[in-house]
Structure 1
Amino acid sequence: MADTVIHDESGSRFVLMRGDQQIGEAGYETREDGGIVFTHTEVDQELQERGLGSTLVGSALDQLRTSTDVRIGATCPFVRRYLEEHPEYGDLTNR
């Protein structure tokens, strides 16, 4: 069963789904200028340490890159570290 990441705009979050079960989420706030700041990321405790957080964040960033022109920021330590370790997403933080 493949994992998928869904953008729940009304909930201001990206949701990691395995079938019909939610196994993670990355929440964000929208800034006054229309940008997005990721505030938290969590994965089901029983599934942590398997790269699912990176899958979730990477997919969320890819979706934002292709569907918006918003600037991305992060107060969430996980997302900040992900952005530091993946400079290919630097264009999202410098828009």
Structure 2
Amino acid sequence: MSTLVEDNPAKHRFEILVDDALAGFTAYLPRGEVLVFTHTEVDPRFQNMGVGAALVRGTLDQLRERGTTVVPRCPFMAAFIGRHPEYADLVTPEP
């Protein structure tokens, strides 16, 4: 199973492709240098396969490279960051 996480700025979301099929996304609202994440969704065909975690990890890794911080309003992303404190430095208060 090959996965790719990429930003889709036109739709304000990061998407994960599994074997070239859209498997899920995490939506955001841009607020300057901060992205407010509001919702994460994984296609039912790809649930319980680690796709959501791969999506959030790939998103946060890309944002770290860009120097962008996040507000994890989405419960899934907030829980992921809670379980992976190595990403806690990317969290910022709501702008």
- Pair in the same fold by TM > 0.5: yes
Equivalent residues of 2:13, 2:25 under 8 A apart: yes
Say yes or no: does 1:37 pair with 2:36: yes
Matched residue count: 93
- Contact 2:15/2:25, CA 8 A, preserved across alignment: yes
Q: When the two structures are superposed, what TM-score results if normalisation uses the length of structure 2?
A: 0.88
Q: Tell me the amino acid that sits aligned with residue 6 of structure 2.
A: I
- Please list the CA deviations of residues 33-81 of structure 1 after superposition, one character each: whole Å capped at 9, or x if unmatched: 4311111111111221111100000000000101x22221111110000
- CA distance in 1: counterparts of 2:9 and 2:39, whole angstroms: 15
User: Secondary structure of 2:77's match?
Assistant: helix
- By how many angstroms is 1:94 displaced? 4.5
Identity %: 38
5 Å matches for 1:1-95?
1-31=1-31, 33-66=32-65, 68-94=66-92
CA contact (8 A) 2:71 2:92 kept: no
In the superposition, the TM-score normalised over structure 1's length comes to 0.88
Stretches of structure 2 lacking an aligned partner (at least 5 in a row) = none
Summarize the Cα distance change of 1:35–1:91 in structure 2 as closer, same or farther, 3 Å threshold: same
Structure 1, gaps ≥5 residues long: none
- Structure 2 residue identity aligned to 1:2: S
How far did residue 90 of structure 1 move?
1.4
Q: Secondary structure at the match of 1:84?
A: helix
* One-letter code aligned to 1:63: Q
**Shift of residue 19, structure 1, vs aligned partner:** 3.0
**Aligned equivalents of 1:89, 1:82: Cα separation in 2:** 9
Which aligned runs of 4 or more in structure 1 are off by greater than 3 angstroms?
none
